[in-house]
Amino acid sequence: MGGYVDPLKKEGQVELSRNLQIATAAVDSTGMCLFIAFAILDIPEGFNALVDMINARYGLSLTADDVTALGKSILKAERAFNAAAGFTNAHDRLPEFFEYEPCPPHNAVWDFTPEEIDEVFNF
C-alpha cells in the first residue's frame, strides 16, 4: 500500500488503515476474491490490472481514482447503514483492557485515541 509502516508505532497507522479499508472494499465489490487484495495492492501494476479487468468486463473507462472512489462510496454506504441501525463511533472501539493489558509477543498496548480512530473514516 505504498510503503512500510512499523506495526509497533502509531505513525502511519491511521492512513494505512484508511487506505486498506478503501482498497479492500473496492476489490471485494468487484467479485474478485478478497485474497487477491494483498497480492495486488503492493504493486501499482496489480491494481491497474484490476482496473483494466473491470473496464474490459463492463465496457467502461474507469481510472484508478474511480475505483478508489468506489471503495469510499461503499464504506460510506456501510457506515450509513450501521448508523441507521443505531451504531455509533463508540462501537468502533476495542474493549478497554487493550489500553492497559500488554499483548504478546511485543507487549504492546493500544494507545490510539477515539479521535484518531474516527480519523480513519475521514475521506
The C-alpha cell at 119 is: 480519523
* 108 found inside a domain: yes
* 44 found inside a domain: yes
Sign of the alpha-carbon torsion through 13, 15, 18, 22: negative
* 33 found inside a domain: yes
Tell me the CATH number at 69: 1.10.599.10
* 1 found inside a domain: no
Q: What is the pLDDT of residues 88-102, one digit of tens each?
A: 999 999 999 999 999
* 87 found inside a domain: yes
What's the one-letter identity of residue 102? P
Q: Is residue 1's pLDDT more than 60?
A: no
* 5 found inside a domain: no
Kindly report the CA angle at 12 between 65 and 24, in degrees rounded to 5? 40
What are the two backbone dihedrals, phi and then psi, of residue 83, each rounded to the nearest 5 degrees? -65, -40
Residues 38, 27 contacting (CB under 8 angstroms): no
Whether the full predicted model's pTM is greater than 0.75, yes or no, is yes
* 21 found inside a domain: yes
Q: How many domains does the chain have?
A: 1
* 31 found inside a domain: yes
Q: What is the pLDDT of residues 19-53, one digit of tens each?
A: 889 988 998 888 887 778 777 777 878 888 989 99
Distance CA 19, CA 21 (A): 5
Q: What domain range includes position 80?
A: 13-119
